[in-house]
Amino acid sequence: MNTPKIKRRVGKYEVGRTIGEGTFAKVKFARNSEIGEPVALKILDKDKVLKHKMAEQIKREVATMKLIKHPNVVRLYEVMGSKTKIYIVLEFVTGGELFDKIVNHGRMQEDEARKYFQQLINAVDYCHSRGVYHRDLKPENLLLDASGNLKVSDFGLSALSQQVQADGLLHTACGTPNYVAPEVLQDHGYDGATADLWSCGVILFVLLAGYLPFDDSNVINLYKKISCADYTCPPWLSFSVRKLITRILDPNPMTRITISEILEDEWFKKNYRPPVFNEKEDTNLDDVEAVFKDSEEHHVTEKTEEQPVAMNAFELISMSKGLNLGNLFDEEFKRETRFTSKCPANEIITKIEQAAKPLGFDVRKKNYKMRLENVKAGRKGNLNVATEVFQVAPSLHMVEVRKAKGDTLEFHKFYKNLSTSLEDVVWKTEDDMQAK
């Protein structure tokens, strides 16, 4: 059997599927072809970086992140540049998001929640001590490794558009509204450290309660609730953790509990083990200098081939729950879902386009990727859906359908309509046929 060609390569990295995207960056699965190690490749557009005057800030934060080797923070291995892009090579974490545990199993007992909260505080404390603030701590940024340890991702990289002004404060309101500190919502500037701590408090509440402390479909009402810390602790919480949550979710950043005080808190200290790790490892920052000097001799080579990305066994397993490939193509999904097809890749693309247009979507195509945008605005703006076709075997393709922007419930509704139109495209096994 001929091994399918890799569609894209950046330097020594073979580039695969998109695993996340934000305003300024896209993240792709990649593999170091020299040692076979999987990585996450964060891709920034140089024009956007320059347009928003972010180059110096990104350079500073990338250099700092490269020096951070903490067991509860996703590692930054290296940074590369091409004529148009900046590539940040990050540790690939396989255990999924921490909050998937709540979605699948409900709220946590205090001992389990405490373990994750201790790891979160360890990571935040370490990065703050080196002048790096997250500014967008939220469920999507809390990952688990294969051993079940918490890894904070996007530390120092998530809020790339933020600027510290002459008064030493940050002035851009960012982040997911439900997790954002009250002072961030008021336009008077805020301290990155105390704002991060508030988000940690919201995360602790969600772990223990199974729902958000501040939630309202009306954004103005939501902001009012956050500004006066209008929330109610569920009755099953112990007195000591309620007391801690109250001290973290203090709307006044001047009187809010500090990390050093949290480390002395009776609830927090139970079974606490400080992280053990080696900081002394040598780190070279030459790659950071080269990328931001933008000298052509240091530009990384990019190669692209016109065919669907080949997906190998490791990637398939990394996308599956508990290494059971039977779960890979199931119908449970939140922000993304997948199906397999024995149709040729071109035919799959055409069929998706024909199905999406009557549903009111504009379609943009590039190779074996599509971006579908609903022309009508929904609850959270226009729904944007990204699709990509991957080659799993010579005669089998996998199609990923992912919400890029908009409301998750609207995405679910769209996918149901789309899947009805694609019944003849989706590959059905004998078991599927018998189940009908």
Q: Which residues pair with 48 in a beta bridge?
A: none
Per residue, the 3-state secondary structure of the chain, as one string, reads CCCCCCCEEECCEEEEEEEEECCCEEEEEEEECCCCCEEEEEEEEHHHHHHCCCHHHHHHHHHHHHHCCCCCECCEEEEEECCCEEEEEEECCCCCEHHHHHHHHCCCCHHHHHHHHHHHHHHHHHHHHCCCCCCCCCHHHEEECCCCCEEECCCCCCCCCCCECCCCCECCCCCCHHHCCHHHHCCCCECHHHHHHHHHHHHHHHHHHCCCCCCCCCHHHHHHHHHCCCCCCCCCCCHHHHHHHHHHCCCCCCCCCCHHHHCCCHHHHCCCCCCCCCCCCCCCCHHHHHHHHCCHHHCCCEEECCCCEECCHHHHHHCCHHHCHHHCCCCCCCCEEEEEECCCHHHHHHHHHHHHHHHCEEEEEECCEEEEEEEEEEECEEEEEEEEEEEEECCEEEEEEEEEECCHHHHHHHHHHHHHHCCCCCCCCHHHHHHC
Give me the catalytic one of 125, 136, 191, 250: 136
Residue 59 in marked binding region: no
Q: The dihedral of CA 358, 359, 361, 365: what is its sign? A: negative
| 136 given a catalytic annotation | yes
Amino acid at 263: L
Q: Which residues are catalytic?
A: 136
**Residues comprising the binding site for ATP?**
42
**Residues comprising the binding site?**
42
